[in-house]
Copies of this chain bind each other. A is one copy, B any other.
Amino acid sequence: MSRIPATERRAALAHAALAVIARDGLAAATTRAIVAEAGMALASFHYAVPSRDELLRDVVELVVAEEGSAALAPLLARAGSIHEATVLAMTAYLELVKRDPGHEQAMFELTQYALRTPGLDDLPAEQYARYHALAIELLDAAGGPWRVPTADLARMLVSFTDGLTLAWLADRDDAAAARTIELAAAAIASFAEQKVDA
């Protein structure tokens, strides 16, 4: 094993941990499983990271940063109507989930774990603040102005996406998920300013 600075190892361990969690679940993400995934010796773990929980904190931050900006931002540009844009964006997101369900499930597991763990219990609030901020960006890009505060609509969009994912993970019903997206998009589009017809 070549010599690698501790900071790099720490990042590599976070990536390895995420891979293990996505594949086998959070419970299987033991220090041994993580270093095996990273191809390191067990001792490197506690040399690079004070504790397992500390590494999981890194993992959550990694997931939020990566998942958030990289995956969702570019989806909303084209498309004519707001309804269409919303459907496209949510469908693209669901495709992402379908392609790697474990990865998405890993996020939920990490959030639940963080909520239960002293010292990590501040993370979920941060995590969802990031999501909500991202949703605001998306809604702004999608059209607007909106008849209701964009922040409120953003929170609804995030809630909706989470619920959609959870339900699909549970029953893997592609068709039902698509119909739900259609409905949700219609609901969101109905809050657009210009759509008020009465």
Query: A residues touching B (Cβ–Cβ < 8 Å)?
Result: 24-25, 27, 105, 108-109, 111-113, 115-116, 124-125, 127-129, 148-149, 151-153, 155-156, 158-164, 166-167, 169-172, 176, 179-180, 182-184, 187-188, 190-191, 197-198
Contacts and interface: CB of A to CB of B under 8 A. Distances in A.
Count of chain copies: 2
A170 B25 contact: no
Contacts of A156: 160, 180, 183-184, 187
Contacts of A129: 171
B115 A170 contact: yes
Given A163-B163, A167-B158, A183 B153 contact: yes
Nearest to A159: B163
A159 to B, nearest CB: 3
A172 B125 CA distance: 8
A170 B127 contact: yes
